[in-house]
Amino acid sequence: MSRYWSKLVQQLSPYVPGEQPKIANLVKLNTNENPYGPSPKVIAAIQAELGEQLRLYPDPTSTQLRQAAADYYGIQAQQVFVGNGSDEVLAHLFNALLKHEQPILFPDISYSFYPVYCGLYDIDYRCVPLAEDFSLNVKDYVQGNGGIIFPNPNAPTGRLVSLTDIEWLLQHNTDSVVVIDEAYIDFGGESAVKLIDRYANLLVTQTLSKSRSLAGLRVGLAFGHVDLIEALIRVKDSFNSYPMDRLAEAGAIAAFKDKAYFESTCNKVIASRQHLTEALTALGFEIQPSAANFIFARHPQRDAAELAAALRGHGVIVRHFKLPRIEQYLRITIGTSEQNNILLAALQIILS
Ligand SMILES: *Cc1c(COP(=O)(O)O)cnc(C)c1O
């Protein structure tokens, strides 16, 4: 703390990202990165962009990338917003669309960045408890609010809300924006992007960090009615005109175009999730049904924090949240089959 800090900074409680340890040969299953590298076409596109033109500013409107994302979903480029990771897109939408008189709503167990943005932008919020089994009931969100946001599938539980339920919520909540954070949608859900033409208050966010193996490139997107997109552009152009650098834009365009690579890596992750779920169940774990690239698991006889510490001793890092309701759970990212086998072998020793 310093007397030079603003009152706002003195009161902030920043987000704590999952650890990025600098230890070799670690089986890193703690931050939901994709275990497979990006498409070779993405690497080639970034390499082709590496050159003299880096002296020039990038396109401030990222028109080609917005078009590539629009083509992927069969929508218009004006319905797409892009930013430096979906965390930045989320920051802008909290500021642009969720700051109103009434508190916004999000689940009590959810992405822990949401309350941080509320702190940064001075937005009131109310947490809506998930059911006992961690399922999300959209009926609980029909109450006065300044906006609604939840990840689908939810993080860190992995549970999916159906598109039918989302549509029901949109029909019963028309006075504020509903944001669906689809960071993990490609691993087993159906995207709500197809609903944006019918619901002017729906905004869908996505990221290339998980399903497209590009966490290091920092590319996030939002899809919605042009009026919502315009609000985001107004905030962006009051903050940073060039959030997407040339390399990020080139790589991201190539990522949207290489559908075959994207689908094959997603399918590998989904198959590994199935296998890991069965193997962990056989070891006595209780697993939440997951549509994401991670699973949320507890062992009825073992303390989760102790399990996480023991796994670390075997060179395997998983995520443990010391938070109410979920402190006996571990969030385990789906790795390659090889990584998953190292995890299972370590657990076999720890549990015996
Ligand atoms: C990973 C994640 C994000 C952030 O993704 P970036 O694009 O890497 O900033 C947003 N929301 C949820 C729920 C996530 O898990």
Q: Domains of the chain, with CATH numbers?
A: 7-37+260-351 (3.90.1150.10), 40-258 (3.40.640.10)
- pLDDT above 70: percentage of residues in the chain: 100
Helix (H, G, I), strand (E, B) or coil at 28: strand
209 lines ligand 1 (CB under 6 A): yes
Round to whole Å and give the CA distance between 200 and 109: 27
Which of 186, 15, 215 is closest to 111 using CA atoms? Answer: 15
pLDDT at 36: 97
Round to whole Å and give the CA distance between 247 and 48: 9
3-state SS track over 78-143: HHEEEECHHHHHHHHHHHHHCCCCCCEEEECCCCCHHHHHHHHHCCCEEEECCCCCCCCCHHHHCC
211 lines ligand 1 (CB under 6 A): no
Q: Is the pLDDT of residue 24 over 90?
A: no
**Residues 81-130 pLDDT 10s:** 999 999 999 999 999 999 999 999 999 999 999 999 999 999 999 999 99
**Residues 154-173 pLDDT 10s:** 999 999 999 999 999 999 99
182 lines ligand 1 (CB under 6 A): no
* pLDDT grade for 53, boundaries at 50, 70 and 90: very high
Q: How far is the CA of 207 from the centre of ligand 1 (A)?
A: 6
pLDDT at 23: 78
149: burial class by Cβ within 10 Å (0-12, 13-18, 19+)? buried
Query: Which of 109, 116, 210, when mutated, tests ligand 1's pocket best, judged by the most ligand atoms within 8 Å of its CB?
Result: 210
Round to whole Å and give the CA distance between 292 and 186: 8
Q: Which residue is it, tokens 């401030």?
A: 60
**What's the token pair of residue 12?**
């902030």
Residue with the smallest CA separation from ligand 1 atom 11 is: 183
Q: Across residues 212-218, what is the average pLDDT? A: 98
pLDDT at 1: 81
Q: Is the pLDDT of residue 20 over 90?
A: no
Parallel, antiparallel, or unpaired for β 286-287 and 294-298? antiparallel
Which of 70, 80, 34, 62 is closest to 247 using CA atoms? Answer: 62
Q: Is there a contact between 230 and 80 (Cβ–Cβ < 8 Å)? A: no
Q: Is the pLDDT of residue 296 over 90?
A: yes
Query: Residue 176: which residues within 8 A CB-CB, separation 6 or more?
Result: 100, 102, 104, 145, 146, 147, 148, 201
pLDDT at 279: 98
Q: How far is CA 288 from the centre of its chain?
A: 18
**What's the token pair of residue 101?**
């008189």
* pLDDT grade for 187, boundaries at 50, 70 and 90: very high
pLDDT at 263: 98
Atom of ligand 1 nearest to the CA of 88: 9
pTM: 0.97
Please name the residue ranges forming H helices in the chain: 7-11, 40-49, 63-73, 85-97, 113-121, 163-172, 226-236, 246-257, 259-282, 304-313, 337-351
**Residues 120-147 pLDDT 10s:** 999 999 999 999 999 999 999 999 999 9
Which of 154, 155, 88 is closest to 117 using CA atoms? Answer: 88
